[in-house]
Amino acid sequence: MKRKLTVAISAALFSVACSSSEPMQEGMAEVSSPVAQSTQQTAYQGSERGQANAREQRESVFSMQQIMADPDWIGRAPENAYWSWDGRSVLFSRKREGSPQRDLFQRPLTAGGNGSQVALSALHAHAYGNAVENSDGSLHAYIFERNIFVLDASSGEVQQLTRDSQNKTSLQFLRDGRLSYRIGNDIYAISLANGFTELVLSLQTQDAPEALKEPADILAREEINLIEYNQVQRRQRQERFDDQQALAANNSSLAPEPFYLGSNIQVVEVSLSPSAQHAIVAVTEPQSWRGEGDLMPRYVTESGRIENQNVRRRVADAKPVNHTLYWLDLNTGEKTELSYESLPGFDEDVLAAVREENYAAEGKTYESKNAPRAIGLMPGWSAPEGNIVWNENGSAVALMLRAWDNKDRWIATIDFASANLVSQHRLHDEAWINRDFNAFNWLPESNSLWYLSEESNYSHLYVKNLDNGNVEQITDGRFLVDNVTLSQAGDMFYFQGNVEHPGIYEIYRVSVNGGDIEQLTDLNGMTNYSLSPDETRLLLTHSSPLQPNELYVQEIRNGSAATQLTETVSAEFESMPWAEPEIVQVPSSHVDDPIYSRVYLPEDFDPNRAEGYPAVVFIHGAGYLQNAHGGWSGYFREFMYHSKLTDLGYVVLDLDFRGSAGYGRDWRTAVYRQMGTPEVEDLVDVVNWMGEHRNVDVERVGTYGGSYGGFLTFMALFKEPGLFKAGAALRPVTDWAHYNTGYTSNILNLPQDDMIAYRRSSPIYFAEGLEDALLINAPMVDDNVFFQDSVRLVQRLIELEKENFETAIFPVEPHGFVQPSSWLDEYRRIHKLFETHLH
C-alpha cells in the first residue's frame, strides 16, 4: 500500500505540521502524489529499547545493503532519447543489467512495453541521434564507429560513405550538396552523387617550407662557398621546390596547398564555411593538462605493485591561454590574423580592485594599467550550438569568445572587407561568466542573431538585427530559459524553463518576434524534450521525486496531454514506502530570495511532540547544481537513505544554498571570492527554520555531503561550532588552491591574484574551529579532488591537537564511488556517526 503525503511546492508552511495560515504564494503550483504506505508504524517509543526495536524492524524495509546495492535493482531508465527518422518510434539507450555498457532500444509509438533492443547488425542504421541535415532536411548525415552514413528522410534508406578506422568529426552539408568532414587537421568533402572525395583544407602546424634558407652564420656561409657538395645539394633542393610550386600552379588535380600555422602550435578549432570558400581557425600554444610532478599512486593494482598515474594541474599552476584567430581564404590561399582590439574591454584591467586589495594586504601598492587580455573561443561544452556559426549561405559568421579571466563573453562577427572582428554583444560580469546559457545562432534568411544571456539576472532569449543594431528581449521574468530549439520555419523558439516554480521545469514556446509564452507541458517535476521531425509532437523525458526518468510523447496543440511510453522502474522499488519530500521556501536572513529546500518528515510526524526530532541536513555537491527540485534527484542513494532516516524518526532537509543552479545569476555569484560564507549562513537559516517550523531539536542536528558538500561540511563545523553535532565530509575539498583551474578560477580568480579569496574560502585555514564530531571519508584514487586534500587537513588537525575526528580511506575508489561495497561501508560509517551523536 502507499502511504499518503501531500507535497506542497509553495511558500506556505506545511499545513499539517503547523497552524500557520500563511496564504499560498500567487503562481505557485501544488503537487500531490501518493507515496507507499508502510505496514509498520515508526511511532517513537518512550524508551530506548522501544526505539531500538523500531529501528530493527525497519531494517527489513530499508536495509543499507539494498540502498547501496548496484542501482540496477531500481530499474534501468531510458537515456539519450531521440526520434526515429519518420517520427513513428523513439530510440534510447538503456544500461545493460549488471554492466556499465549501454544498449540501444527502439520503441514504436503504437506498441506497448519498453521497446526492443536494436540488433548489433542494425546499429549503424539507427545511430542518427546527432545527425546533421542538409538545407531542406531531406538528408541526415551522421557518424557511427568512425564512419559516415547518410539517411534519406523520405525513404529511410541508409547509405554508407566511408569504411575505415580514421576518426572523423565536424560533419557539415555544404551549399553545393557535398558533405564535409574533418580528420585531424584536414577537412574533406565528399560528393553524394559519385563518391568523389577531395581535400578542401589542410592545416599544417609547422613553418612554411622555403626554397633556400640563407646561411645561418659566417661558418655556414664559408662552408657552402668552399665545398662543392653543399652547393650541389642546395641547387637540387631548389629545383625540387621550384618544380613542386610550378606543378601546383599548373595542374588542378593536385590537392590544395596547405595553410602553414607555424611550429609549436595546437589547433583548437576549425570551421569551414558552407560555401567552402572560407574557414576560421583558432590556434594556441600547447599546454599539458597534467601538473608538473603531480602523480597519484594506486596501491591496489593487478601488478601487485604501486603504480603512479598522472593527474591534472592545479589552479595554482595555471597559465593564461590565448587563442590566435585566423580567417582563411581558400580561393586565394591568404591567411589573415584577426585582432581582438575591436572588442570592447579587450585590454581592461578587470581585476584591478582585487589586485589592489591583495597588494595592500601585503603592504604593497598596485598600479593598474591596461594590457591585452588572454582571449579565446568559448569552450565547446559551453556553447551547445558551437562557438563558430555560419549563416546559411556562408556569407557571414559569428563567434563566441571568452576572456581567460572569466569576466567577459563576446559575440562577434567578421567584417571580411576589413578583416576585423565586429562586437555584436558583450556580456560582462564582475564575478564570472556562467558555463551555461551560451547558446547562439543565426535566424534563417535574415541578418539577425539570437542568443541567451544572463544580463537581466536570469537566462533569457534575445534577438539582434545586425542591419540596424536593434536588440529585442524575447523572454523576461524570474525564470531560466535553456535548451533552445528554433523551428524549421524560423518563427518559433521552443525551450525548457522553470517559469512557474524554480524546481519545476516544463516545455514552452514563444514567437521569435516576442509576445506571450505558451506552456506546452504540465507534468510537474523535471521535463526535457525533443521536437518530432514534423514538429507536431514532443518526445519528453520526465521525472518526479519518486520516479526516475521515463519517456512520454505529447501532441503540440491546446489541451493535449502527455502519454507515457516507458515503464522501466522495478516493481520492487515501487513497492517500497519511500518518503516523498516537500519543497519549501526557507526565508533567508541575508537576502530577499528564499532558500529552496527539500524536507523529509517521518510518517507519523507530530508537530506538537514534546521531544523535538533529531535532524540531518544533506549538502549537495558540485556547488553549481540544483537539487531542491520536483524531479528525480541524481543523488538517488541519498534520497533512499533519507527515507531510512525518516523511518528512524529523523527530519531530513537538503537545500539549494547560495551558489546553486536554477535561481539566476545573483544567487549563483553570491559565493564570488567567499566560498563557504553565504552557504554556511544559509545552513544556519535552515537549521533555525527546522527548529521553529518542523519541531526539530536544534541541539541534535547533523550534516553530510560529498565534494563541494564535503567542503561545506568542513566550513560549517569549523566556522559555526555547535550548529551541527556531527558532520561527515565525503571526498572533500580542503584547499581550493589545489583544485582545478576551470572551476576554481571562475569563483576565486587565481591564487597569484587573489590569495585573500583562497584563504577566506579554504577549510584548512579554519581547522582550529573544530569542536563537533567529524568523519572524513576520502577515496585514494580521486583524480578530481586529490586524496592529498584530506591528508593535509588530517595533518593540520593533528597539529592542532584535535581529538573528535575520524578518517576512513577507500583504496580503489575515484571521486564517484563505483563499488557497492564501498558505498555500503561509507554510509554505514555516516549512519553510525548520526546514531551515536544525534540519537
What pLDDT is stored for residue 669 in this prediction? Answer: 98
Q: Is 620:660 a contact under the CB 8 Å cutoff?
A: yes
What pLDDT is stored for residue 59 in this prediction? Answer: 56
Nearest by Cα to 689 from 698, 680, 702, 678: 698
Identical fold, 465-544+546-569 and 595-604+613-838? no
Q: What is the mean pLDDT of the chain?
A: 91
What pLDDT is stored for residue 153 in this prediction? Answer: 95
pLDDT beyond 90 at 22 = no
Over residues 629-637, mean pLDDT: 97
Q: Is 424:398 a contact under the CB 8 Å cutoff?
A: yes
* CATH architecture assigned to 595-604+613-838: 3-Layer(aba) Sandwich (3.40)
The dihedral built from the CA positions of residue 545, 546, 549 and 555, taken in this order, carries a sign that is: negative
What pLDDT is stored for residue 237 in this prediction? Answer: 84
Q: How many other C-beta atoms lie within 10 A of the C-beta of residue 439?
A: 23
* CATH architecture assigned to 465-544+546-569: 6 Propeller (2.120)
CA atoms within 13 A on the CB side of 819: 10
Distances (CA, A) of 771 to 286, 679, 835, 838: 47, 20, 18, 15
pLDDT beyond 70 at 679 = yes
Contacts of 715 (CB under 8 A, 6+ apart): 676, 679, 680, 763, 766
Tell me the pairing of strands 726-730 and 773-779: parallel
What pLDDT is stored for residue 16 in this prediction? Answer: 29
β-sheet with 613-619: strand ranges across: 582-586, 595-600, 651-655, 613-619, 696-706, 726-730, 773-779, 805-810
Chain segment 411-429, per-residue pLDDT in tens: 999 999 999 999 999 999 9
Chain segment 786-823, per-residue pLDDT in tens: 999 999 999 999 999 999 999 999 999 999 999 999 99
More confident residue, 171 or 53: 171
Angle, alpha carbons 200-381-501 (nearest 5°): 140
CA atoms within 13 A on the CB side of 746: 16
- Residues 623-648: b if buried by 16+ CB within 10 A, e if exposed: bbbbbbbbbbbebebbbbbbbbbbbb
Distances (CA, A) of 308 to 294, 577, 779, 785: 10, 46, 16, 16
The dihedral built from the CA positions of residue 814, 817, 821 and 824, taken in this order, carries a sign that is: positive
More confident residue, 246 or 296: 296
Nearest by Cα to 325 from 308, 342, 347: 342
Chain segment 137-190, per-residue pLDDT in tens: 999 999 999 999 999 999 999 999 999 999 999 999 999 999 999 999 999 999
Three-state DSSP state, 691: helix
pLDDT beyond 60 at 6 = no
Domain spans, the chain: 79-204, 209-260, 465-544+546-569, 595-604+613-838
Contacts of 702 (CB under 8 A, 6+ apart): 614, 615, 616, 617, 724, 725, 726, 727, 728, 833, 834, 837, 838
What pLDDT is stored for residue 31 in this prediction? Answer: 31
Note the pTM of the prediction, 2 decimals: 0.90
What pLDDT is stored for residue 51 in this prediction? Answer: 52
pLDDT beyond 50 at 492 = yes
- Report residue 663 as a C-alpha cell: 535561481
Chain segment 88-100, per-residue pLDDT in tens: 999 999 999 999 9
What is the DSSP code (8-state) at residue 445?
T
Tell me the pairing of strands 651-655 and 613-619: parallel
Q: Please name the helix (run of DSSP H) or strand (run of DSSP E) that holds residue 51, with its range, or none.
A: helix 48-59
